[in-house]
């Protein structure tokens, strides 16, 4: 199949799938999600994404109707049905289906899965960023479906000819609209701590792993907008953009001062992705 959808055990071509109007996602965005990529029909970092998915569900007091292994098997089975092995693999859980009511309904949660052909972003391409005040909710650590603030920030970046928006609360940089953001300064990789203001990114964790393997110091403390603008490198990471370096922010040049360290980190995470998704015989 070219694009594949799944809803509570039923699957088919994505454009032909339908869901009940009373699914609580329609009224409240009441759910959580996670996503990663597959290559050669192998899903990258699946266990880590499932761990975060189940944690997000637990924080919203939602019960996933599958074990981690069961859901992982379903996702892998869905990927195997695709015409190509390179896909964006997305899944979400909504609290259930019921007549609109703010209190939790007594019903089983709904599982959605969508797969569309897509490659990861070119790790070595330079990107442009813009900044804006972070006015989102205070549950940024939960990968909730309430994404309107992130959607608006992403659209703003597009209108300004940028690739991503860096969010900040006052002087403190938090994260991007749909990525984590980090800096390199004086040979140290610095990233915000995983408190309630940022999502604990899987790609972020792999960058930290890469730095430690390469012998680079890691500092998990907040940094300011000014520190970001004066950093040796500014890095954006997500499951689909493993380690992208910024060339400008708000129209001002940034980075370009630690190219060797940056390249070493990029090589590490890119090779890790390629190795983890490689197979001896392609399907």
The kind and range of the H/E element at 151 are: helix 148-159
The residues facing 11 across adjacent strands are: 6
CA 33 to chain centre: 10
Residue 115: CB atoms within 10 Å: 25
Q: Which two tokens stand for residue 110?
A: 């709904």
CB 26 within 8 A of CB 97: no
Instruction: Reply yes or no on whether 143 is catalytic.
Output: yes
d(CA 69, CA 204): 24
d(CA 252, CA 225): 13
The beta-carbon contacts of 58-64 under 8 Å, at least 24 apart in sequence, are 59/139, 59/141, 59/142, 60/30, 60/31, 60/32, 60/95, 60/142, 60/144, 61/104, 62/31, 62/32, 62/93, 62/95, 62/109, 63/109, 64/93, 64/109, 64/111
Query: What are the Cα distances from residue 241, in Å, to 12, 54, 118, 142, 158?
Result: 28, 23, 12, 20, 17
The catalytically annotated residue of 10, 128, 143, 185 is 143
Q: Tokens 């390249």 map to which residue?
A: 263
Q: Which residues are catalytic?
A: 143
């Amino acid at each position: 199949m070219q694009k594949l959808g799944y809803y509570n055990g039923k699957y088919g071509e994505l454009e032909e799938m339908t869901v009940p109007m009373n699914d609580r996602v329609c009224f409240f965005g009441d759910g959580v999600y996670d996503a990663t990529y597959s290559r050669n029909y192998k899903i990258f970092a699946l266990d880590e994404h499932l761990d975060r998915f189940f944690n997000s569900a637990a924080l919203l007091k939602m019960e996933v109707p599958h074990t981690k292994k069961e859901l992982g098997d379903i996702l892998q089975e869905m990927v195997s049905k695709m015409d190509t092995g390179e896909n964006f693999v997305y899944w979400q859980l909504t609290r259930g289906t019921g007549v609109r009511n703010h209190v939790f309904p007594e019903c089983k949660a709904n599982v959605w899965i969508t797969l569309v052909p897509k490659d990861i972003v070119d790790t070595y391409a330079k990107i442009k960023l813009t900044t804006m005040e972070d006015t989102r909710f205070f549950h940024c650590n939960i990968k909730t479906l309430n994404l309107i603030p992130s959607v608006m920030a992403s659209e703003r970046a597009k209108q300004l000819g940028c690739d991503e928006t860096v969010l900040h609360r006052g002087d403190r940089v938090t994260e991007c609209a749909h990525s984590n953001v980090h800096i390199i300064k004086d040979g140290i990789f610095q990233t915000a701590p995983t408190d309630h203001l940022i999502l604990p990114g899987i790609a972020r964790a792999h960058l930290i792993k890469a730095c430690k393997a390469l012998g680079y110091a890691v500092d998990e403390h907040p940094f300011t907008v000014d520190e970001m603008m004066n950093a040796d490198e500014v890095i954006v990471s997500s499951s689909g953009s493993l380690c992208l370096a910024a060339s400008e922010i708000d129209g001002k040049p940034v980075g370009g001062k630690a190219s060797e360290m940056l390249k070493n980190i990029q090589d590490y995470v890119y090779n890790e992705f390629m190795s983890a998704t490689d197979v001896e015989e392609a399907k």
